[in-house]
Structure 1
Amino acid sequence: MSTPESKVTVNGSGKDIDLLKYSWKAQWITHPTESTLDYGVFLFRHVFSLKKEVDEFNVFVSADNRYRLFVNGERVCYGPSIGDTQHQRYETIDISHQLKVGENVIAAEVVNFGEYRSVSQVTYQTGFIFQADRDLDIDVNTGSADWRVIKNHAFSPVNITSEMMNAYYAAGPCDRIDDSKYPWGWSQLNFNDKNWLKPKSTTTEFAVGRGFLYGGAWHLVPRTIPFMEEKTEQFSEIIRVEGIEKNEGFLRNKASVIPANSKVKILIDQSYHTTGYPELTYSKGKNSEIKITYAEALLQDVSPNENVSDGNLNLVDLKGNRNDFEGKSIFGYYDILLPDGGENRFFKPLSRRTYRFIELEISTKEEALVLENYQGVFTGYPFKEKAKVETGNATLDKIWDAAWKTLRNSADEMYYDSYYENLQYIGDTKIASLISIYVSGDDRLMRKAIQQFDDSRLSEGLTQSRYPSNIVQIIPPFSLIWVDMIYDYFMYRNDPEFLRQFIPGIKSVIDWFAIRVDKTGMLTNLKWWNFTDWTIDFPSGIPQGADDGYSANIALQFVKTLENAQAVFSYFDLEYEVKNYQTLSNKIKKAVLEKCFDAKKGLIAETPDKTEFSQHTNILGILTDTFKVNVQEEVMHKILGDDTLFQATIYFKFYLFRALQKVGLGDKYFDLLDSWKGMIDNGMTTYGETDINPRSECHAWSSSPNFDYLHTVAGIYPREHSFKSVIIAPNLGKLNRLKAEFPHPQGMIKVNYVKKEDSIEAEILLPEGLKGEFQWKGKSKVLSAGKQKFSVN
């Protein structure tokens, strides 16, 4: 079920208390005897009596690591919204609709993944807190009311490792459940909890909002994003069975029987990539075992002498066309269920699963197993697709749809990079957040990400490359991209107070790079992981010279950020920094040209030895105006036409298209979509991490067509900061017609183009109060609010 936004408050303030200024009335509680640091699933209950109906009953709830909250057996929310212990999110929710006169029960399942936790999980210890905003003659607050707790011994972790997945894996464990140990019905009012224990207060028993005088283990801050969308998805079909006749009844809420003493495999194809929490209902089958394996793609079978988990095989080469399943097997992470023979047993994973294919591998004993229903539950950030693009071209429409599915499947309580990692990386998030603005108009997840990356900054000044994270990883160019994200927000949203808080962080990032500019004017002595792109010509994604010499690429990334920071700081009248950044930017550009420009090729080399050249560095040369404006179109032609250059992969093509648009060659955009077309032709329904044989089948940074259809092709982008006015400069390329709608903060922008040989007819609707300029082939026209129709020759 999903919680309607109308029931949810995210400002964190109630009628009787200010949770951000004072100590909470409730206390953090935990199990009295079990380890508070190790893996465990803990169940909390509180039964109380309500004398009369209430119109409103706001409660505040949080947990470490995760919780699911139930009222009278109905799940009302889950959380907390992911953060760190210095920014421990709490949810505010009105539970009056679930309460009744008389006895009621509030129950919570709290999970601590312990040593197996995902890298994105920042934790202190097992803890749960629940508080009501007013008493109503009852006390339901943890620490004072009569709460009860047990450890649910049915659960144990299935530890998924990088060796098992044959790739870096950081997403946490799967679940093993022994039904015979499960306290079925524990969240219902009539459950007998007399043998449950009284919780104890945690080592930091008091609860406080962030900034409170005494501090605490968890610094509580309110949730700033809505609850996730949850939508039931019926599985498409069973594509292969072993040991039984094919029967899809349990996929359609009609029971299917797995006979006693059987070994059965059932391979399900959802037909598209998705993410969420699949739900399985089953009965009987005592002493059976159900193994549920999830995968984004099937793998071609290998010889018996080759083991897919021994680290010697490149699994991404074994996928082939995703729609072909003959001669292929499933390989992925998995859950294990051990039925106890009871009726209507129910399994929903403790954490998010990503998949297109699912295999049920079932072994029964003396009792048959009844599969009653199996369904997916898509779960993700509730983005709404407000933008529209009508190209009249079926292939281009498929590219748009797959890009939007890629973004949707990569966004939950934060932007995720892939199911292997479930981490929020800055490089991915910059692109994903722009798509969020362009397609949905919703900037709340972008705001949260910008804030979290600022929270991640370390003493030397850089942000972490990904955050939240319990393992520190630093990619210096990603710290630059974080500043670029702030510039993006500055251009698209009018919210100076939100931006002002990041001024110290911007300075600290720029200072880290600035002190590494030596007397040559180039950056040197860089450390950490200077990842830029996954092109095979950059070892580990690092441009030549970044670690042990001079890199024109990294130098120009710094220049681009310096110029973005100048725009933001100028708005805040920080002229001293603006002047210094401008001087430094010019110094670096001059040094790059003097040391790395090759006159024969007319391009900037990677390093001063001028032996290697990339698309990337020369794209940056255009974006920073290191190349003079009058030669940038010529340089762009060389970037596109010289296949000896190190080629940008699908990630860095986002910046390739920025340069293409900047030099006036946006009409070529549709000619450069082979990477996206190739993935669709190969049966993929989302876009992967790299152009060819991607590790992950769904990677947010590859969803850039959703941005470019609107920004490049429809040509809609800010004319000035805060999107106070708009530029509309279409690049239709091979299209003769295009309709598009874009969610500007003041209302929808709508465009309708008809292109003829040397002219274009445009019908444009701007929302009230918005002005702009139409540009086409060197000609311009003033735009005003309302509808206007005109031709430009």
Structure 2
Amino acid sequence: MRKSWLLGVMSLCFTAAFAQQRDSRIREYLSPVRIVWQQDSVQIENEHYLLLPGNGQADLSNSRVCVIRSTDTRHPALLLDFGKEIQGGIQFVTGMPASQKPVRIRVRFGESVSEAMCEIDGKNGATNDHAVRDFQLSLPWLGVAEVGNSGFRFVRIDLPDDSVELQLKEVRAIATYRDIPYKGSFRCSDERLNQIWQTGAYTVHLNLQEYLWDGIKRDRLVWIGDMHPEVMTVNTVFGYNEAVPKSLDLTRDITPLPNWMNGISSYSIWWLLIQRDWFRYQGDWTYLQSQKDYLIGLLKVLISKVDASGREHLDGMRFLDWPSNENPEAINAGLQALMVQAMKYGAELCSLLQEPELADTCRETEARLRKAAPEVVKPFLALKKKPTEPGMKQAAALLAWAGLMDAKEADQKYLSQEGGHGFSTFYGYYMLRSMALADNYSGALDIIRSYWGAMLDMGATTFWEDFNLDWLPNAAPIDELVPDGKKDIHGDFGAYCYKGFRHSLCHGWASGPTSWLTEYVLGVQVMEPGCRVLRIVPHLADLDWVEGTFPTPKGIVKIRHEKQPDGSISSKIEAPEGIVINK
């Protein structure tokens, strides 16, 4: 009896320990959709079998196998396309050649065709940083091997050794992701916008792993400042997801005050802004209370960085986004604006957390920051730079968002100049928001179509770490071999930390149009925490109709707007009990 009881206790302890480490993701196996390229194709037989659905099981029939043979002079290879970007690895199911020995292969993952075809040479940007994408392994005789953990769409397989035979029954990608529903949706009369909304949602879905990552090939990390556009997409598409508070808490716990999160002062500000917006959408009072001590401490650190005149003096790395990194006047103006937002949201959160004295201090500090803003902003406004040069639209967007610059002036002087030229994938979200503040919804939609849409035209299935419309002339898409005389849109461009093939083609911060289209075109604005009160005011611009859903903690809101012959909008809205809709 005693032994049975002890075994039961041990079993419970094991189960509890195991549950703490259980992966919340699932694995899905995908067969390739096409063979892009072959080397020494005469040495490859029945490669079409690789495109058939598989079951992941080696068998004795050996009837549907691709046979690849090398010689001392021929080393065959092939390049597979799995149809869309995924996060995960790859599975090989082998047959039974006569040698019965393991066969060595080389595997290269690529987010583009050209990345999968390249060498890591120290010049082209290709690396094995964060995730190994170029490696060799031995495949068993009549068995299954699974390997890899990266972001990719394309896989190149080489047979490097002389005089060997490889039999492949299957080569399948292993997609690893959270199996969660898309509670939010967006459809309108422009299919290009629909595809852009969906691509932004999918980009964040891939990065919504155990934590909310920056990218799935490189930067598989929690960069807290970069998370804000991602969190807004999570709010819009998935509703509550544990990865968001887990990521916020991880960064908090590894960053004791007065240190800056990720070593960047603005990123600690973004942590604060995310806390406010997460509570606004999800209304999780218990979670907000658990942040109280750190939040109060952070606000005090931020306040200490504002002098008596109201100018910020943030130390650490002074950063907005990479394209604005060489424009100190833009960075100074942008950080002043971010500090205004931090004090505004800080006062709001302190009032909720019953810290009235600190709330008053935040308001007083905000007032000083606003009073000093003209002197901080003046050097930026005096710059003899084109609006499309790095940092110009970024700073203008933050100034308009914080109310330090008239939104219409910011739009006309900077944001709308030359359309999407001068946009960045990260701060493009804030540029779009500021254009909405200027009531320029038509202009914002045109930029979404041309800027984010251009990535789709280049073969993207997820949005990129950075993108510049100036890269487009004479550029080949990512899903084809680059012809002679053409530019490689992946390998030939990029800057800072994303030069060449190091450039991530799946970065969650680029998802801004997804939440923006829901907020401003579908018209859903959260007015009270937990979405208790929503204000729904659509802006259809040149669209005939828009419909969609929006997740709240109390259920799904269904919305449809149609433009009438007289230009008015007819709306149909269905909301769950407990949600008040204002128009």
Q: Which interval holds the TM-score relative to the shorter structure?
A: 0.7 to 0.9
Q: Counterpart in 1 of 2:526?
A: 718
Q: Counterpart in 2 of 1:403?
A: 200
SS at match of 1:739: strand
Preserved CA contact (<8 Å) 2:225 2:268:
no
Distance 1:516 1:440, change over 3 A: closer
| Residue identity in the other structure for 1:724 | R
Matched, 1:684 2:460: yes
Deviations 1:572-599 (A, max 9, x none): 221101110011111011111144347x
TM-score by length of 2: 0.81
User: How does 1:239-258 map onto structure 2 within 5 Å?
Assistant: 239-243=36-40, 244-245=43-44, 247-252=47-52, 253=54, 254-258=64-68
Preserved CA contact (<8 Å) 1:713 1:732:
yes
More RCO (CA 8 Å, sep 6+)? 2
Distance 1:59 1:251, change over 3 A: farther
Deviations 1:726-749 (A, max 9, x none): 110111111011111112221211
Distance 1:723 1:644, change over 3 A: closer
Preserved CA contact (<8 Å) 1:461 1:508:
no
Correspondent of 2:177 among 339, 360, 380: 380
Distance 1:708 1:584, change over 3 A: same
Unaligned runs of 5+ in 1: 1-15, 18-24, 27-56, 63-89, 93-221, 317-330, 466-473, 775-793
Q: Counterpart in 2 of 1:272?
A: 84
Q: Counterpart in 2 of 1:523?
A: 312
Q: Counterpart in 2 of 1:571?
A: 352
SS at match of 2:226: helix
Correspondent of 2:329 among 537, 540, 544: 544
Q: Counterpart in 2 of 1:754?
A: 562
Q: 1-side partners of 2:169 and 2:413: how far apart? A: 61
Q: Counterpart in 2 of 1:764?
A: 573
Correspondent of 1:616 among 391, 394, 397: 394
| RMSD over aligned Cα atoms | 3.2
Deviations 1:469-514 (A, max 9, x none): xxxxx11101100001100112112221211121222223233332
| Residue identity in the other structure for 2:296 | K
Q: Counterpart in 2 of 1:670?
A: 445
Unaligned runs of 5+ in 2: 55-63, 469-492, 495-502
Q: Counterpart in 1 of 2:549?
A: 741
SS at match of 2:170: strand
Deviations 1:294-317 (A, max 9, x none): 010133999xxxx9644444679x
Matched, 1:484 2:273: yes
Q: Percent identity?
A: 19
Q: Counterpart in 1 of 2:499?
A: none
SS at match of 1:698: coil
Deviations 1:676-708 (A, max 9, x none): 111011111111001234511110011122212
Higher strand share: 1
Preserved CA contact (<8 Å) 2:283 2:530:
yes
Q: 1-side partners of 2:333 and 2:164: how far apart? A: 69
| Residue identity in the other structure for 1:654 | Y
Correspondent of 2:342 among 539, 557, 561: 561
Distance 1:308 1:291, change over 3 A: closer
Q: 1-side partners of 2:529 and 2:264: how far apart? A: 28
Q: Counterpart in 2 of 1:444?
A: 242
| Residue identity in the other structure for 2:235 | I
Preserved CA contact (<8 Å) 1:667 1:713:
no
Q: 2-side partners of 1:520 and 1:426: how far apart? A: 30
SS at match of 1:299: helix
SS at match of 1:278: strand
Matched, 1:707 2:515: yes
Q: 2-side partners of 1:764 and 1:356: how far apart? A: 39
Correspondent of 1:475 among 264, 276, 282: 264
Distance 1:737 1:534, change over 3 A: same
Higher helix share: 2
Preserved CA contact (<8 Å) 1:606 1:617:
no
| Residue identity in the other structure for 2:319 | F
| Pairwise CA distance, 1:663 | 3.7
Preserved CA contact (<8 Å) 1:737 1:752:
yes
Preserved CA contact (<8 Å) 1:605 1:614:
no
Preserved CA contact (<8 Å) 1:439 1:743:
yes
Q: 2-side partners of 1:250 and 1:496: how far apart? A: 52
Q: Counterpart in 1 of 2:75?
A: 263
Q: 2-side partners of 1:570 and 1:586: how far apart? A: 17
Bigger radius of gyration among the two: 1
Q: 2-side partners of 1:397 and 1:410: how far apart? A: 21
Deviations 1:584-641 (A, max 9, x none): 111011111144347xxxx85689xxx99822223222222224xxx43333322324
SS at match of 1:369: strand
Distance 1:755 1:516, change over 3 A: same
Q: 1-side partners of 2:162 and 2:308: how far apart? A: 76
| Pairwise CA distance, 1:387 | 1.8
| Pairwise CA distance, 1:527 | 3.1
Q: 2-side partners of 1:337 and 1:359: how far apart? A: 13
TM-score by length of 1: 0.61
Matched, 1:453 2:251: yes
Q: Counterpart in 1 of 2:403?
A: 625
| Residue identity in the other structure for 1:423 | L
| Pairwise CA distance, 1:238 | 1.4
SS at match of 2:359: helix
Q: 1-side partners of 2:249 and 2:218: how far apart? A: 24
Distance 1:666 1:646, change over 3 A: closer
Q: 1-side partners of 2:346 and 2:321: how far apart? A: 23
Q: 1-side partners of 2:90 and 2:392: how far apart? A: 44
Correspondent of 1:424 among 210, 216, 222: 222
| Pairwise CA distance, 1:367 | 5.2
Q: 1-side partners of 2:116 and 2:169: how far apart? A: 31
Preserved CA contact (<8 Å) 2:309 2:368:
no
Q: 1-side partners of 2:133 and 2:75: how far apart? A: 20
| Pairwise CA distance, 1:382 | 2.3
Preserved CA contact (<8 Å) 2:89 2:175:
yes
Preserved CA contact (<8 Å) 2:303 2:362:
no
Equivalent residue pairs, number: 518
- With 401-410 and 712-721 compared, the bigger mean Cα shift is at 401-410
| Residue identity in the other structure for 2:83 | S
Deviations 1:231-271 (A, max 9, x none): 12111111221222451214434312223646210111112
- With 580-589 and 757-766 compared, the bigger mean Cα shift is at 757-766
SS at match of 1:649: coil
Q: 2-side partners of 1:421 and 1:314: how far apart? A: 14
| Pairwise CA distance, 1:332 | 8.0
| Residue identity in the other structure for 2:221 | L
SS at match of 1:277: strand
SS at match of 2:76: strand
| Residue identity in the other structure for 2:430 | Y
